[in-house]
Amino acid sequence: MSHGLFEGDTPLAGTRSWLGEQALLLRGFALPRVAVLWPALQAVLAQAPPRHMLTPGGQRMSVALSNCGALGWVSDGRGYRYTPIDPDSGQAWPALPHAFVDLARTAAAEAGFEGFVPDACLINRYRPGTRLSLHQDRDERDFSQPIVSVSLGVPATFLWGGRRRADRVERVPLFHGDVLVWGGVDRLRFHGVAPVRAAAHALTSDERINFTFRRAA
């Protein structure tokens, strides 16, 4: 598999920018690792295929979701929570691939979060028109631990808000291979994804794959 840029990859690979005091965007940081990340991801999804979960209010989520790690995030009529068991299979979620853990720890350290050890990885599959509304990640027990978010495939516009839902939102383009880390004073910022535009990528076809690492327990 080529390590070079695909159409739609970030033209700013290797650069970094701070979106907040403790929120760092690492452009193209995952690109040198795609050759190992992609097959590891496919193995995980073969065991736990993405599915459209229901919100506590009974609405179908537009983003298809899967998990790997000791814990997986789920949503249903009982609410949002982490669980060690995939409700679709009744089995434990697939283990976190070593390549995933290495990327998460390395990226977190770049942003000043040394020693980050994720126990959960949420995998979101976006297709044209898919969006993610503004929200905070509040289902984890320890908010001192960061979130590490990896983008693969077609571009998307990340919505980076403040500590209140009504705060001004910054629109940040994300490309194949970009990694975003936020924690500390920025850990509970509202964030989301604008509707993904139709596009094509040599690796993922018309999809954007995003996986986010957390310390849930």
3-class secondary structure for 53-92? CECCCCCECCCEEEEEECEEEEEECCEEEEECECCCCCCE
Q: Is residue 1 part of a domain?
A: no
Q: Is residue 10 part of a domain?
A: no
Model confidence at 198: pLDDT above 50: yes
Q: Is residue 78 part of a domain?
A: yes
pLDDT tens-digit map of 39-49: 999 999 999 99
Which pLDDT value is given to residue 136? Answer: 97
Say if CB 208 and CB 196 are below 8 A apart.
yes
Nearest to 137 by CA among 187, 201, 86: 187
Give residue 24's region: left, alpha or beta (phi > 0; psi -120 to 50).
Answer: beta
Which pLDDT value is given to residue 116? Answer: 98
Confidence class for position 12, pLDDT limits 50, 70, 90? confident
pLDDT tens-digit map of 125-149: 999 999 999 999 999 999 999 999 9
Q: In the chain, which ranges are continuous DSSP H helix?
A: 34-47, 98-110
Q: What is the CATH number of the domain that holds 96?
A: 2.60.120.590
Mean residue pLDDT across the chain: 95
Which pLDDT value is given to residue 7? Answer: 44
Q: Is residue 8 part of a domain?
A: no
Confidence class for position 9, pLDDT limits 50, 70, 90? low
Q: Is residue 3 part of a domain?
A: no
Model confidence at 8: pLDDT above 80: no
- Helices 34-47 and 98-110 meet at what angle, rounded to 10? 130
Q: Is residue 20 part of a domain?
A: yes
Which pLDDT value is given to residue 6? Answer: 45
Compute CA distances 216 → 74, 114, 138, 150, 154, whole Å. Answer: 12, 17, 10, 17, 28
Model confidence at 3: pLDDT above 80: no
C-alpha 82/C-alpha 217 separation (Å) is 9
Helix (H) or strand (E) holding 122: strand 120-126
- Strand order across the 64-69 sheet: 16-20, 23-26, 179-182, 147-153, 208-214, 120-126, 64-69
Confidence class for position 5, pLDDT limits 50, 70, 90? very low
Compute CA distances 134 → 163, 192, 194, whole Å. Answer: 11, 4, 9
Measured in whole angstroms, how far is the alpha carbon of residue 55 from the centre of its chain? 19
Number of domains composing the chain: 1
pLDDT tens-digit map of 69-109: 999 999 999 999 999 999 999 999 999 999 999 999 999 99
Domain interval for residue 64: 16-214
Q: CB-based contacts of 139: which residues, under 8 Å, 6+ apart? A: 73, 80, 81, 82, 216
